[in-house]
Amino acid sequence: MALEFFEILDELMPSIERVGAYFRSALENLARKHSFVKEVRGRGLMIGVELEIPGKQIVLDAMAKGLLINCMHDTVLRFLPPYIVTEKEVDSAVKTLSKLFANQKTPSLGEAVLIVERAFQAGHVGIRADVFMLRCASRRMSTHLDVLADLISKPPGIETSLV
């Protein structure tokens, strides 16, 4: 049985590479339209889209629309379509993602400061909003979303240096 699978896989490899490249290209085009997409990566039909925002709600919304994806490490959407997926099905998936991405709201710097201040008061993060602002101004963090993601990923009491 396993040997028969490898024979079938050999026949599918050209299609897997072609459709995978098509899928990555479509996702890269989508990424250029949304600033919260950091990177599209993968090989063949195993593709990841790294976000600057949490991906859980996107996954839930995608499932509600009939698109099955998952999220790794809170911010990486992972796509593992079947080997027999077609370009038409990829187009449908990307169209669904496009609508979901268009509905995403990334917090402004002011909103992020309020999020951090509330989280600090509730004991969820270990820094105050003024320190958050300093981190945003430092050259080591590219955007306030990077700083916010860094804070969310660390439990209270664990600090990173500002320089």
User: Could you tell me how many helices (H) and strands (E) the chain has, helices first?
Assistant: 6, 4
Evaluate whether residue 30 is within a structural domain. yes
Say which residue the tokens 């990566």 belong to.
Answer: 41
Evaluate whether residue 157 is within a structural domain. no
Nearest alpha carbon to residue 151 among 78, 37, 111, 129: 129
- If asked whether residues 71 and 113 sit together in one domain, one would say no
Residue 3: pLDDT over 90 = no
pLDDT score of 26: 97
Average pLDDT along the chain: 80
Please state, in angstroms and rounded to a whole number, the distance separating the CA atoms of residues 9 and 160: 47
Helix, strand and coil percent figures for the chain, each rounded to 5:
55, 10, 35
Residue 113: band (very low, low, confident or very high) from pLDDT cuts 50, 70, 90: low
pLDDT score of 121: 74
* Structural domain that includes position 63: 2-102
- If asked whether residues 51 and 16 sit together in one domain, one would say yes
**The whole model's pTM is what?**
0.65
